[in-house]
Structure 1
Amino acid sequence: SKHWAFQPVAKVVVPASKENPDWARSDIDRFVIAKLEDQNLSPVSDADRLTLIRRLYFDLVGLPPTPEELSAAASDDSNEWLATLVDRLLESPRFGERWGRHWLDVVRYAESNGRERNYMYPHAWRYRDYVISSFNADKPFDQFIREQIAGDLLIDAGDEQRIATGLLALGPKLLNERDKEIFRMDMVDEQVDITTRAFMAFTASCARCHDHKFDPIPMKEYYSLAGIFRSTKTLYGTANTQGNRQASQLISLTVSEPSTSSSADGEEEIKSEAVNTTKGQAAVRKQLTALQAQNKKLAKQIAQVKEGDGKIAKLQKERAELQKAIVAAREQLAAPASKPTNAKKKGNAKSPPTGPVAMGVEEGTVENSPIYLRGETDKSSGIAERGFLTILDPQLTQPILDTEQSGRLEYANWIASPDNPMTARVLANRVWQHLFGEGIVRSVDNFGISGELPTHPELLDYLAGRVVANDWSVKKLIREIVLSRTYQLSADHAEQNYENDPDNFFLWRHTTRRADAESLRDAILFASGKLDLIAPKGSPVTELGDGEYGRGSSSQDLAAEDHHRSVYLPILRNAVPEVLQLFDFAEPSMLVGQRQVTNVPTQALYLMNSEFVTENSDALAERLLGNSAMDDPARVDFAFQLVLSRSASEAEIERSLAFIQRASDKMNAAEKDKEKLVSHAWSGFCQALFGSAEFRYID
C-alpha cells in the first residue's frame, strides 16, 4: 500500500523559517513555524512563567506544585531554570504514576473481568506497578514492548518480565461461554487487537470475519497472527465456580514478601504468623484489619512530621515494611477462592500455585489456527500458518518462526524493530497528544487508511527518528517537546488565527484543557493536606479474592478512605469510582488512547455537593486556620497558592474575605459555636475555589 503510515520513516530535512527566523528555539519549532507560515498564521505570545510552571507540573507529574516549589521556580533567574525544572519533574517518582496511567488507559487495565460475570482480578495490581516502575526507570520502549508480549521468553526472564505479560491477560472475557473454542478465539482476538492497536495503531482484528474493509489485511493473515496466540496459554486466575465455565490459574512468582512489622511508637509487634497459610480466613482477616489500622496511623504520623525531620525516613521505612505485610495477608485471603475445586473433583486440574502469583501468559501447545469463515468456529476453510502481516513488506523483514515456540518472541521483535514504520510514529504521536491535547495524527489509535492524516507529517517522522536515535527513551522525547517554544506558547486568543484555524490544527497557540479525573481528585487531596504520596503495596481488591463482584455495586466503598494517588484506586469494570467516572475516566473494557472530555452539569453538582469535596474543603479550612502565624489575608493567599498555583491579587483577597464574612453572618443565628462558625465559612470559601473553572482547567 502507498498509504503514508506504511512507508519507512523518512530522514527529513529541518525547514528554515522565511518570515520569523529568530522565533524557533528547537528543530520542533522550525517544523511548526514553517507550517504556520504556509497557512498564513502567526504564533501567539509565550505563556507567563506561573502558567508554564503549572502546565508542566500537571503534564509531567499530574499534581500542582507546592507553594515552595512554585516560589523556587518562579524566582529562579538562571538561563537554565526551565530545563532544571523539567529534569527534576522527569526524575520524580510521580512521573511514572502520571505517565503509567496514560499507558493503563491504552491497555484497558482493570481489576475485574466485567461483562456478564464480573469476576475480580485480585493480582492485576502487579501489572499496574510494573508499568509505573517502567516509566519511572525510563525503560527503553522497545524493551517495554518485548516484555509485555514475550517477557517469559526473554533471556534471563524474571518475575518482572513475567508480570509484564499481564498485558495479554487483562482483557474482559465472556466467562460464562459454554463453547470453549468460541471462548478461546474471542480471547485470541482480544490479544491480536491489543497488540496491533496499542503499539502500531492497526485495527487488525477487523479482519477476523472478512478481509479488512480499508487496510490491506487479508483474513488469512489475521489467522496467521491468531495462531501465535492460540499457541499461548493465558493465565488470568478467576474463580472456578458453576457460573464461571472458563476458569484459569496464575503465574507463580519467585519473590518473597515479608510479613512482619512494628508500630512507630513501640506498640505490639504484628508477627509473621499473621499471614501464616495454616491459619483460617477469620484469623487472617482479623490480623489484616490490625495491619491496616496501623498503616493509617503511620500515614497520619508521617503527614504530621515536618520536612527535614530525620524521623520521617524511619517512619516511611516502617510503613513500607508494614505494607508488604498487608500484601502478604491479602494474597492469603485471595488464595482459597483461587482453588479450582470443580476441576479438581473431575481430576483434570493442577493444584493452584502457592505464594506470590500474577496474571500473564506462558507457552502452550504450538499449533496453527483454522481460518474461520465469518469468524464462526463451526465453519473453517483451511489452516493459516503462523506468521505476521505483510502490510509492512518489504521494509520490514518477515522473521522465521521457531517451530518449538509460539512465535510471540519473534512477533515482539517485529513490532519493536527500528525498521517498523508504525511503532516509533505511534509512540511519538501518543506522547505529543498527552502534551498538546491532540496528536499530530488525531486518530491516535488508528493510523490506517480510515484514520486521519497527520497535520505535520515531517515533524512526526522527525520525532519518530528521535525516538529510535535516543534508544527509545520516553523521557528524552518528552524533554525535547516541552523545552520547545511551541509547547511554551500561551493559550491566548487571536481572532485572525481563529478564523483560519479554529481547531488549532497548526499549533498557533496552546490549547486550554480540563484536568483529567485523576488530576482533579489528587489536586483536591493535595490542597487539603490529605494526599498520601507513599505508593501502596497491592490493592484492596486482593482482599475480596477472585469471586464475582456484586451487581449494581460500586468500588466507591473500596476507594472511600483511600487517600493515595488516583492511579492506585481499585478499578473494577462496570464499577469505576464516581469521582473518576464523572470526569471522563477511560472505559476500562476498551483500548483508549485519548479520553473524551465532557462538560456536563453533574460535574459541577459533584463539586458542590459531594462528600469527598466537602470533607476536603473542611480539611483545607482547618489547615489554613490552624496556622497561627498567618492573618486572614495571608490565609486567602495561601489557599490560592495551594489550589490555583498562584498568589491572590489584592482585589481577590478583599472579595474572598467579604465572602467569608457574609457566610459567617448567614450562619450566625444557627451556629452558637464561634470556632465552628468560622471554620464553616472558610470551608465554603475553599469549596468555591475547588469549584472554579481556573482550578479545573490548565492553560
Structure 2
Amino acid sequence: MKLIPYFLLMASTSFAAVDFETQIKPIFDEHCIKCHGPEKQKSDLRLDSRASILKGGDLGEPGAHPGHPEKSTIIEFISLDPDDDEIMPPKGDPLSAEQIELISTWIKEGAQMTEKKIAKKEKLWSLKKVEKVSVPPGENNPVDAFLSAKLKEKNLKFSQQADPVVLLRRLHSILIGILPSPQEKDAFLAQWVDNPEKAYSAKVEELLASQHYGERWAQHWLDAIRWAETSGSESNLYRNRSWEYRDYVVRSFNEDKPYKNFIIDQLAGDKTGYPRATGFMVAGPHVPPATVGQQPSAIAEARYDRLDQTMQTVGASMMGMTLGCARCHTHKFDPIKIGDYYAMLANFQDLEYGIRKPELPAHTGPAIQEAKYNKLIRDHRKTLELKSWKETWHDRYEAHIPRENVKAIRITTLGGDMAFDEMEVFDQTYKNHMPQAKLSTTLESDKNNVEFLRDGQVGYFFAFKGKTKGKSAELLIEFDSSIKLQSISFSKDRKAKLNTSYLSPENWMTELAKYKIEYQDSKGEWHVGIKNTKTEKDVAELNELIAKRLKYGVQHEFLGRFIDPVVTHILKRGSPNTPGAEVAPNSLAVITPTLNMTSQTPGPERRLTFAKWLADEENPLTARVMVNRLWYHTFGNGIVSTLSDFGNAGTKPSHPELLDFLASEFVENNWSTKDMLRLFVSSRAFKQDNKPKGEALRVDAGNLLLWRYAPKRADAEIIRDSILKLSGKLDPKIGGPSYRIHNVKKRYGMWKVEDNFSQHTWRRMLYQERMRGVDDRMFTAFDFPDCGQVVSKRPQSTTPLQALNLMNSQFMIDQCDIIAEKAKGKNTDESIRNTFMLIYNRQPAEVELAMSRKILKTEKLNILVRAILNSNEFIFIQ
C-alpha cells in the first residue's frame, strides 16, 4: 500500500520550477546521502549526481525517470507504507507528504541538477591487470628470488636444507599424499649419495608422473567445490554415478590438462567432448524436486537456489569472489552489482541438476554395447508371437501392444489409486506421440493435471495422482490421426529410480497389473490390449537382454543436464516473486563490460562464452586464484591467505609481485599445474628445515615470509592412505565406483556408517563415498570436510577424538595387527627397529629404543605400532 497514490503524483501541483539546490538537495542531504552518497552506496545507488540518479541502483531501473515519477524507484521506495521494511529512509523516519510531492514534481519537470564529477574509487588489487615483474637477482629459482628479497627487508634468511629423508617424506605427502616405503627411502638415499640434486629432481619427476598424483590434487579441487555424492537437504539422496566427475578430475590432473581447458570443460563439457566434466556445475547441494513440492512459488525459489549453488561454486573455485553475496543486493565490499550477479547467472539458465546420459563418442565401450543390445532387443521383439507383452526397464515398465490404426488409448484402474509421473506412447518407428495427443481424465484430485504426464520433467513423485475410493478412474489419450501403436511407457518417480540408489525397497514403478489398457480402432471400437500382465506369456529372454543393455550401455549419470533457457531478470531481494529489469548473459562488468550476448543466445553458447572469458589470459582473477591455491597446498600458507576471497573482505597478498609473476608464468607455460608445482618444490624455500628460530619467530611468527618450512598436520587422507601402504594392504586401483561404508536407507532416513574398516574399504580415501553432512566415524575428527560448504582451506583442529580414533578404531586395530606382523623380527630389538624404519623411515634413537623395550615387556608389538602411529612425527608433514 502506497502512502501517496501514483495518480496524485501525476496531478497538477502547486510547486513550479522546483530548484534542486535549494529544495531537493537539502532533503537528500538530511535523509539520503549518508547511505547513497560518496562514502557509501547502499543498493548501488548514489543521489549526488544526475547521472547516478538516472542510472539507478542495483535493481536495474532508473532512480528518477524524467517526466515520469510513477516509473521512478526513488518515488516507489519513499512512498511505501511506513510499516514496510523497504521504506526509505529506513528506521521509522519517512518523508512527509509535502517532501514526497516536491521530489515527484522535480522528477516530472526533468530531474534537473548541476552535474558533479564523481571521484572514482581505486580498483581492487585483484581486478587490476596481471603485471609480470622482473625477478630479483641472487637466486636460481624465481620463487626463492622473490621470497629472499622480502626476507632481507626484515633481516631474515632461509633456514638450512632439511634432512634428505624429511625431504622425501615431504615430497611424497605433498605430491601424491602417501608416505614412502623403506624400499623407496633406500633407493632415494642411494641416489642422493652420488648426486643430491639429480636424486631430488628424479624423485620429483617420478611423483609427478605417478597416477597417485592426480588423486591427491583432485581432492584439493573437490574440497574447493564441496563435491559429494549426495544431494544434502532433508532426504540427502545418493547421486548415481556422480563419481564419474571425480574420475574426470583425477585424469585431468594426471594428464596435466591445461587449466584453461579444465575450466572450459567444466562449464561447457557437453560442447568440448568432456560431458562428465559438467558435474562441476552441480557439485553443490540441492533440494530434490520431490522435497520441494508442487507449489509454483516453491518450485521457482528452489530453482534459483540451485543456480545460486552453481554461482557460489564458480565464484569460490575459479574467480576467488564471493558472488553469492550479490544475490539480494549489490555486494557490500566488492565491485559486484546485483545486476552482475544475475547477468552471470544468466549464463547457467539452461542448467538443471539431475541425471542424463553423457554424450559419449560412438567408439567408446558403453556406446558400442548400447548399440549392440538395442539391435538385439529390436530383433528379439520381431520374433515374439504375442499380441502384447510387458518389458521391465530400470525406471519404468513398457506395455507393448503392436496394433495398426489406433485412434485412442484408455487406461482404467482395476482398483486402488492411479499414480504416474511420466508417460510416452510410441509408434512402430519409436516416435513419441504423447506431446501431440489430447489428454483427459475422470480422476478427481488436486494432482490430476494431465499435462505433467508429458512435460519431460520426471521426479516429482506422482505428478498425476489421485484416490479412486474403490471406483475406477480412467485416463484418455486421443490422437489427431490413427497411429501404428507399438508401446506405452509408464513410470512413477522415474527420476528417483535413475538418480539414486542405496535405498530400501520401495514401490518405484507403476505395476501394469493394476490397470486395464484399451485401444480404440479406426471404427471407434474399444479392445483390451493389456488387462493383467501376469497372464501373459513369459518374455524372460527379452528382459535379460534389456538388463544387459542397462548394465553395459551408456548409463544415466548425475551431471549437469540442460533445458531451454528463460529470460533472466534481476530479482528484488533475491526472490523470483519480485522480478526486476531484464539482464543479458554477461561477465563481471568491472573486468569486461559486455560479452555481446542477449537473452536469445542459446544456453550452450552462453556457458562456452562465459567459460572462455574465465579462461582468457587477460582475465586478472583466474590465473592468480589457481596459482595461489597450488601455492597454499605446497607451502601451507597462501600468498593470499583467503583462497576463495580475493575481494576487499579477503586478505591482501603477502608477496604481490611474486603472485603476479607466478600467474604470468602459469599462462605462458600453457596453464600447466605440473610445471608450477615443479617450480615450487624445486625451490630452496620448499627444501628448508622446519626448525623454529627465535629471532625469526619474533619478526614473523606466522611464517608468512617463509623463513622455514612450517610443519602442518597431514590431511585425513594422507594419514589413512599411508597406514594402508605401511600394512601392504592399499588397493592401488585408480577410479571407478566409490567404496561404501554406509547403510541402505529409507528415502528420508539417515545415512549410518556400518563398515569403515573391512577389506573392501582398503582403497585410497578419495574413493570413499562422500555422503554430505555425514560423520564417517573416524576421519571426520581430522577435519575431513562434510561437503556442506566450500572448504578451500581445511581447519587444523587438535582434539582428543583424534587420538582415540588412532588408538581404538577397528580400522586402526586391524591395520596395526597387520603392520606388527610385517615388522616382527627375530628378537625384540629387531622388531622395534623394523617398526621405526617402516613408519618413520629411520632407526630409533637410543632413548626411543629403551622406551619401546619397556612397552614390549607387557604389551604386544601391535600396541607399540599404535602408539607410534599416534605420534606427531607420523601425522605431521615435517
Which range, TM-score by smaller chain?
Answer: 0.7 to 0.9
Match of 1:554 in 2: 753
More helix by share: 1
Deviations 1:197-247 (A, max 9, x none): 2101011121110011011111112111112212x132423xxxxxxxxxx
Of 157, 175, 194, 2:313 maps to 194
Report the RMSD for the aligned CA atoms in angstroms: 2.9
Report SS of the residue matched to 2:329.
coil
1:358 paired to 2:557: yes
Higher normalized contact order (CA 8 Å, seq sep 6+, divided by chain length): 1
Cα shift at 1:574: 2.1
Match of 1:384 in 2: 583
Which one-letter code corresponds to 1:117 in the other structure?
A: S
Cα shift at 1:450: 1.0
Relative to structure 1, is the Cα distance of residues 547 and 171 closer, same or farther in structure 2, using a 3 angstrom cutoff? Answer: farther
Of 849, 858, 865, 1:662 maps to 858
1:571 paired to 2:770: yes
Q: Please report the TM-score for the alignment, with normalisation by the length of structure 1.
A: 0.79
Relative to structure 1, is the Cα distance of residues 441 and 556 closer, same or farther in structure 2, using a 3 angstrom cutoff? Answer: farther
Cα shift at 1:250: 5.3
Match of 1:4 in 2: 125
**For the pair shown, which has the larger CA radius of gyration, 1 or 2?**
2
* Distance in structure 1 (CA, Å) of the matches to 2:269 and 2:761: 32
1:530 paired to 2:724: no
Cα shift at 1:115: 1.4
Of 398, 404, 413, 2:595 maps to 398
Give 1:45-444 correspondences, 5 Å limit: 45-76=160-191, 77-78=194-195, 79-154=197-272, 157=273, 161-175=274-288, 176-178=291-293, 179-230=298-349, 232-237=350-355, 251=358, 253=360, 255-256=364-365, 335-336=394-395, 342-344=420-422, 346-348=452-454, 350=456, 354=550, 355=553, 356-393=555-592, 398-400=595-597, 403-406=601-604, 407-444=606-643
* Distance in structure 1 (CA, Å) of the matches to 2:368 and 2:333: 55
* Distance in structure 1 (CA, Å) of the matches to 2:302 and 2:228: 20
Match of 2:811 in 1: 612
Deviations 1:348-373 (A, max 9, x none): 25577853222222442233212111
Relative to structure 1, is the Cα distance of residues 542 and 370 closer, same or farther in structure 2, using a 3 angstrom cutoff? Answer: farther
Report SS of the residue matched to 1:527.
helix
Match of 1:639 in 2: 835
Which one-letter code corresponds to 1:146 in the other structure?
A: I
Relative to structure 1, is the Cα distance of residues 549 and 469 closer, same or farther in structure 2, using a 3 angstrom cutoff? Answer: farther
Deviations 1:424-467 (A, max 9, x none): 00010000000111100000110011110000000001110110
Relative to structure 1, is the Cα distance of residues 492 and 216 closer, same or farther in structure 2, using a 3 angstrom cutoff? Answer: same
* Distance in structure 2 (CA, Å) of the matches to 1:555 and 1:379: 47
* Distance in structure 2 (CA, Å) of the matches to 1:13 and 1:193: 35
CA contact (8 A) 2:354 2:561 kept: no
Report SS of the residue matched to 2:565.
coil
Which one-letter code corresponds to 1:419 in the other structure?
A: E
Report SS of the residue matched to 2:806.
helix
Cα shift at 1:69: 0.8
Relative to structure 1, is the Cα distance of residues 362 and 611 closer, same or farther in structure 2, using a 3 angstrom cutoff? Answer: closer
Match of 1:313 in 2: none
* Distance in structure 1 (CA, Å) of the matches to 2:560 and 2:638: 32
Give 1:588-599 correspondences, 5 Å limit: 588-599=787-798
Cα shift at 1:124: 0.8
Report SS of the residue matched to 2:582.
strand
Q: Which range is displaced more, 29-38 or 375-384?
A: 375-384
Which one-letter code corresponds to 1:73 in the other structure?
A: F
Cα shift at 1:338: 12
Cα shift at 1:417: 0.5
Cα shift at 1:638: 2.3
Report SS of the residue matched to 1:608.
helix
The aligned length equals 586
Report SS of the residue matched to 2:778.
helix
Cα shift at 1:68: 1.0
Relative to structure 1, is the Cα distance of residues 126 and 547 closer, same or farther in structure 2, using a 3 angstrom cutoff? Answer: farther
Deviations 1:474-500 (A, max 9, x none): 000000000000111111111011011
Relative to structure 1, is the Cα distance of residues 558 and 84 closer, same or farther in structure 2, using a 3 angstrom cutoff? Answer: closer
1:686 paired to 2:805: no
5+ residue gaps in structure 2? Answer: 1-121, 379-391, 399-418, 424-451, 457-488, 499-549
Report SS of the residue matched to 2:213.
helix
Report SS of the residue matched to 1:359.
strand
Cα shift at 1:606: 1.2
CA contact (8 A) 2:344 2:587 kept: yes
Relative to structure 1, is the Cα distance of residues 555 and 213 closer, same or farther in structure 2, using a 3 angstrom cutoff? Answer: farther
CA contact (8 A) 2:315 2:321 kept: yes
Q: Please report the TM-score for the alignment, with normalisation by the length of structure 2.
A: 0.63
* Distance in structure 1 (CA, Å) of the matches to 2:366 and 2:582: 46
Cα shift at 1:141: 0.6
Cα shift at 1:692: 1.3
CA contact (8 A) 2:133 2:657 kept: yes
CA contact (8 A) 2:756 2:811 kept: no
Match of 1:462 in 2: 661
Deviations 1:497-518 (A, max 9, x none): 1011111111111110001101
5+ residue gaps in structure 1? Answer: 238-248, 261-271, 279-332, 664-680
